[in-house]
Amino acid sequence: MARELALKWRFVDSPRLGAKENMAIDESLLSKCQDEPIFRVYSWEENSFTIGRFQKIEDIKDWQRYGKNWAKRVTGGGLLLHGFDLSYSIILPTKLLGKKSVKQSYEYLCEFLLNFYKKLGLETNWAKDIFANSLSHSSFCQEGFEPYDIIIDGKKIGGNAQKRTKKLILQHGSIPLKTDSREHAGHSLEELNISISLTEAKQLLKESFCKTYNIQG
């Protein structure tokens, strides 16, 4: 499907870490990436959360109720709760995507997620095809609808965001495996009667990524 990504990749499987450590690794990988693209999978300590690069923590009312383990992402968007989810980061030279526009590249780099959910027996849609008249931003990631958010049974599952430099693209995202009791947590695979361990989810996500883009894992 994606011959231009059929080349050598560096795969990184990080242990469960706090928000600051996870985001520091993303920033470090982005700053050091040269020609070898990177696919990283990782998870979070409980009661973690991140905020978008343009948000200020002091502007979030009673932010302590979401936990004290937080960090700012290099990408935009709103507050996103972690600790019950699996996350990924893709870092690659922009040239590998050829002449794809920003929107085209975003959709393209989310395709492996559709295959991941398909292997779990779930039917997916883009938000732009379901909620074309109600796309919106929100201070909380799980409550807004961006065009390429993934919708399953009418519910937004996870979220994804991009950062671009002159030569590189970083796209990272989150897949909620378990239900979180905190307000604004959004929907999870557990709600959809999907039970999968973190280890199983990591393996399936990597397999879906390699198969989608014809990469030797």
Active site residues: 141
Burial 87-98 (b: 16+ CB within 10 A, else e): bbbbbbeeebbe
Name the token pair of 46: 């409980």
Cα–Cα distance, 41 to 31 (Å, whole number): 18
Name the token pair of 110: 């989310």
C-beta of residue 82 within 8 angstroms of C-beta of residue 44: yes
C-beta of residue 71 within 8 angstroms of C-beta of residue 119: no
| Cα 214 from chain centre | 20
| Cα 133 from chain centre | 24
Cα–Cα distance, 75 to 154 (Å, whole number): 26
184 bridge partner residues:
none
